[in-house]
Amino acid sequence: MSSTLSHNIKPLRPAAPNPGFGAEVTAIDLRAIDDAGFETIRQAWIDHQFLLFRGQSLTDHDLIAFSRRFGELDHAPVQENGQRFVPGLPEIYIVSNVIQDGAAIGSLGAGEAVWHTDMSYLPKPPKASMLYALEIPPSGGDTSFCDMYAAFDSLPDNLRARATGRRVKHDGTYNSGGYIRQGVTPADDPREAPGALHPLVCIHPESGRRMLYLGRRRMAWIEGMDLPESAAFLDELWAYATEPALCFTHRWRVGDLVLWDNRCTMHRRDPFDATARRIMHRTQIKGAAPPAA
Ligand code: SIN
């Protein structure tokens, strides 16, 4: 499989202004890849920032085994309530709206999950995440990705110069569904909220490319600016980062696995009918170092 695998990597949007962003790896069973096949996938993940694998039949242990090829796994993030991870497998975060015996089996409900980078409020956020679709609603619940290299490249010179050398506070109070994480007391002032400071413009440690690193908008703050100035500047940067022409929206099928580079992408999820069922299992691969300029 490995000698021909590079022929199975198909860009998802070849006509887009950022045509390398996202690729599908076709005709592959992730339970059966060899080391050379894995190296092709790893390089494609660096080159394309997110990869789609359709038609997989993975157990939780298969998902963990494939994820571990990329490195040590992070445990599921702390969430609002409900079951956070698969019993006995703290590496698998459950994203679901399903209520069973009166309790949520996972996190994030059925509402919108706003644009974010996974766990960027930590000093060393995961370098990658994988999301595997077990049950999906008939409509809604699509997941979009944005390209933080293209976001940086699209900035006018004056914004690029203003952003370079700055750090941004990444809030750890709220998750992307808008829920307060367990054990956190919300603060009104982002400067006092829990979370890490990271450079606003980072260099990707593997590709060497420059990218914007925003994390999430809510309760973000640019160090050294007063709150209104920081909010206005962040709003300008976010408009470039989430420019629709540079983003991709994935419509899920059961058996899809999407792997993204958490350093140079952000993602969001559309809301869906709360009476429908959506169950996704996610792993997150530890970052080797904090994001760096
Ligand atoms: C996530 O933020 O990892 C969840 C995205 C989704 O539910 O599609």
Best of 95, 107, 112, 262 for a ligand 1 pocket test (most atoms within 8 Å of beta carbon):
95
Q: What pLDDT, on the 0 to 100 scale, is given for residue 10?
A: 97
Ligand 1: nearest atom to the Cα of 93: 3
CB burial of 48-73 (b: ≥16 within 10 Å; e: otherwise) equals: bbbbbbbebebebebbbebbeebeeb
Strands 113-116 and 221-222: unpaired
Cα(97) to centroid(ligand 1), Å: 12
Contact 285, 74 (CB under 8 A): yes
Cα(27) to centroid(ligand 1), Å: 25
Contact 121, 171 (CB under 8 A): yes
Cα(268) to centroid(ligand 1), Å: 7
* Averages of pLDDT over each 10 residues, the chain, 293 residues: 78 96 97 96 98 98 98 85 79 94 91 95 96 98 98 98 97 83 82 92 98 95 97 98 98 98 98 98 96 97
Nearest alpha carbon to residue 259 among 126, 151, 139, 136: 126
Q: What pLDDT, on the 0 to 100 scale, is given for residue 74?
A: 92
Q: Please identify which residue in the block is written with the tokens 């059925």.
A: 110
Q: Return all residues near 170 (Cβ < 8 A) that are at least 6 apart.
A: 120, 121, 195, 196, 197, 198, 215, 216, 220
Strands 99-100 and 128-135: unpaired
Contact 285, 70 (CB under 8 A): yes
Write the residue with the smallest CA distance to atom 5 of ligand 1. Answer: 269
166-183: pLDDT as tens digits: 999 998 888 878 888 877
Cα(78) to centroid(ligand 1), Å: 15
Q: What pLDDT, on the 0 to 100 scale, is given for residue 178?
A: 82
Contact 126, 119 (CB under 8 A): yes
Pocket around ligand 1: residues whose beta carbon is below 6 Å from it? Answer: 95, 108, 113, 131, 143, 176, 267, 269, 280, 282
Best of 250, 256, 259, 282 for a ligand 1 pocket test (most atoms within 8 Å of beta carbon):
282
Q: What pLDDT, on the 0 to 100 scale, is given for residue 175?
A: 82
